[in-house]
Amino acid sequence: MAVDSTDSGDEQGPEAPGTAIGEMLDVLGTGAYLVDARGCIVAVNAEGERSLGRPAAELVGQDAHDLLHRNARGEAFPRAQCRMRPAFMEGRPAQAALEWFERGDGSMLPVSWSLVPCGSDDDDTTLVIFAPQDDPVALADQPLSDGTLNELERLALLAEVTTQLTSTLSVDEALQRLLSLVLPRLADWAVIDLIDEHGGVWRNRVVHIEDGILTRHRVLEGPMTPVSAASQMPLSRALRGVASTIAEPRVYEGSPDTGIAVEQHRLFETTNMHSAAIAPIRGLRDVLGALTLGRSERPEKFSAADLALVEDITRRAGLALDNARLYQRQRKVAETMQRYLLPQLPRVEGLDMTARYLPAPDASHVGGDWYDAFPLTDHATALAIGDVSGHDLDAAAGMAQVRNVLRAYAWSQKESPSRVVERVDRAVLSITDVPMATLVFGTVALRDDGAWEFEWTSAGHPPPLLITREGVTRYLTGGSGMLLGTGTHPPRADTADVLPPGSTLLLYTDGLIESPRHSIDDGLERLRRQAAALVHRPLEVFTDELLRRVRPPENDDDIALLALRLGART
């Protein structure tokens, strides 16, 4: 790929979109360039340079409409008249049979083009694929396609499959995107069969396009028999990764050799498909499943060229699904490790305690948040909540290290919370792999006068929230200090608060209050108001409902929460 090399420095942000799509631009076999959200070119391939008669340095950074778009007379025209612009603004695919681009020497280049959105919400980019046209007069009044995909449309579809499927780490989302891309462009029906880690086969999706809407036929979905090593039926061969096939109903009309053949006969009979293209979905190491595209309403049968296109699609789908499965396995391991490392809460006479841990929606953020509660030798109960920086297993392992160090010092040293945290801070740099962490650590004890007192210190963590049984709330802001792992080892302070009878003490991590759309102050205020409204509920209900009401819908972090309420156990 040809890219502009005039910019220097370490910042990678502006080059990221070109880098993400760049590997496929040169293999498209036709001209292509990538534009950002402003319509400026950020990357162009070698064929695009040649066709436009302009080097990359002359193209990258320029507004594509101003630089290239012309009418048939070679005149520039307003953006409002540009046929690309509506699709560009709406983030949808589009195509046109004839447009005119101005080449570097001032001559006009007649082209057909396809536009493919390929960015994310935070990084909107669009791929423009174009092909010179030898006979623009003949093309001027003709549609780009006569019912089957031409070469430009095929390239655009493959580009869209690549960008849509690789931009999600959810298997279900990837499958849904795949279906929406192939229906109705290539077929009336789409069937996805997947092989699980134990070799079982599951008919995951059977989808029909009905009035422009993807409709699932769940009665045809479900478990299937294992793949036979001897079966020569098309789907069995595809699920073994042997070959792709164009199949017709008569293939499955004879005596079935396996349970899979029985289901295929049922599929053809129920859907009235007269032609189907069946191709394996291959990952890096194994066959993940198979994609079947079927035609029932449209009369044309699948061709060898169609089958080659389906193979290209499943090849890209396989890599995306393989990556998503790996990511989900990693997430499951991190969640399992995190949950096993989190403790059972102690039973303390006069106190109710409950805790919750919610993993992040994004697997890359699982593992850093934790809570702890344990009895001390002086009849006090230690409470802790923290957040270790890092991701996945590293964060979960780091959390365990910090928690174990904290427990050891708190149990053995019999010192104030601030002195214990000072020791933990020094240990974080010396005997753990944790880069940085935040923490609230304190003790709850019954005083001689019958009151419960909470003595605590904070290392850069959000403040505890105290809610009286009457619904009066107060954030405990004393005892705040620097987070752990900075290497500065500042002196830390303790603070003590008397907990009123029937009150609730809430310790939480920042995933509960932080949101990219709102300030932390807004999150703290939302938490305070909802906690006050719910404090009359039983503690378990209070905690669950508080999470439901307060957790930001766009939250991308895990959440730990520890709640304590004064009151005799029943």
* pLDDT of 226 strictly over 60: yes
List the one residue out of 495, 503, 498 whose CA is nearest residue 468: 503
Instruction: Report the C-alpha gap between 255 and 262 in whole angstroms.
Output: 9
| Helix boundaries (H) for 357-493 | 392-413, 417-431
Q: Considering the domain delimited by 342-566, tell me its CATH architecture.
A: 4-Layer Sandwich (3.60)
Strands, E assignment, 2-123: 31-35, 41-44, 69-70, 94-102, 108-117
pLDDT at residue 516, as a whole number: 79
How large a percentage of the chain has pLDDT more than 70? 85
Structure tokens at 212: 């422009």
At 434, the pLDDT band (50, 70, 90 cuts) reads: confident
3-state secondary structure 329-346: HHHHHHHHHHHHHCCCCC
> Where exactly does CATH 3.30.450.20 map onto the chain?
13-148
**Pairing state of beta strands 437-446 and 381-388?**
antiparallel
Amino acid identity, position 313: I
At 22, the pLDDT band (50, 70, 90 cuts) reads: very low
570 CB burial (10 A radius; 0-12, 13-18, 19+): exposed
C-alpha torsion angle, residues 292, 296, 301, 306 (rounded to 10): -40
**Pairing state of beta strands 94-102 and 465-467?**
unpaired
> Where exactly does CATH 3.60.40.10 map onto the chain?
342-566
Q: What is the DSSP letter of 483?
A: P
Q: How far is CA 536 from CA 67, 504, 547, 564, in A?
A: 66, 10, 16, 14
pLDDT at residue 361, as a whole number: 63
Structure tokens at 256: 């079935």
Give 472-497 pLDDT, tens digit per residue.
Answer: 999 999 888 899 988 888 889 999 99
Q: What is the DSSP letter of 54?
A: -
Non-local (6+) Cβ contacts of 510 within 8 A are 387, 438, 461, 462, 520, 557
79 vs 265 pLDDT, higher one: 265
How large a percentage of the chain has pLDDT more than 90? 41
* pLDDT of 440 strictly over 90: yes
Residue pointed to by tokens 């402003």: 38
pLDDT at residue 362, as a whole number: 57
8 A C-beta contact, residue 45 and residue 53: no
8 A C-beta contact, residue 50 and residue 26: no
* Rounded mean pLDDT, 352-379: 79
354: Cα separation from own chain's centroid: 30
Residue pointed to by tokens 């841990």: 357
At 144, the pLDDT band (50, 70, 90 cuts) reads: very low
- Residue 343 three-state SS: coil
At 18, the pLDDT band (50, 70, 90 cuts) reads: very low
List the one residue out of 548, 546, 550 whose CA is nearest residue 537: 546
Give 294-303 pLDDT, tens digit per residue.
Answer: 999 988 999 8
Instruction: Report the C-alpha gap between 444 and 496 in whole angstroms.
Output: 10
* Rounded mean pLDDT, 126-152: 60
pLDDT at residue 366, as a whole number: 55
pLDDT at residue 11, as a whole number: 39
317 vs 156 pLDDT, higher one: 317
Give 240-251 pLDDT, tens digit per residue.
Answer: 998 888 999 999
Question: Terminus-to-terminus CA distance in the chain, angstroms?
Answer: 70
pLDDT at residue 261, as a whole number: 92
15 CB burial (10 A radius; 0-12, 13-18, 19+): middle
317 CB burial (10 A radius; 0-12, 13-18, 19+): buried
Give 194-216 pLDDT, tens digit per residue.
Answer: 998 888 999 999 999 988 889 99
8 A C-beta contact, residue 277 and residue 246: yes
> Where exactly does CATH 3.30.450.40 map onto the chain?
168-332
- Residue 276 three-state SS: strand
* Rounded mean pLDDT, 52-63: 91
Instruction: Report the C-alpha gap between 156 and 162 in whole angstroms.
Output: 10
* Rounded mean pLDDT, 323-348: 74
**Pairing state of beta strands 452-459 and 480-481?**
parallel
Non-local (6+) Cβ contacts of 121 within 8 A are none
Say if domain 13-148 classifies as CATH 3.30.450.20.
yes
* Rounded mean pLDDT, 360-388: 81
Instruction: Report the C-alpha gap between 487 and 425 in whole angstroms.
Output: 8
Peptide bond into 553 cis (omega under 30): no
List the one residue out of 65, 66, 48, 54 whose CA is nearest residue 104: 54
At 570, the pLDDT band (50, 70, 90 cuts) reads: very low
* pLDDT of 252 strictly over 80: yes
CATH number corresponding to 168-332: 3.30.450.40
pLDDT at residue 337, as a whole number: 60
- Residue 131 three-state SS: strand
* Rounded mean pLDDT, 522-548: 95
- Length of the chain (residues): 570
8 A C-beta contact, residue 445 and residue 380: yes
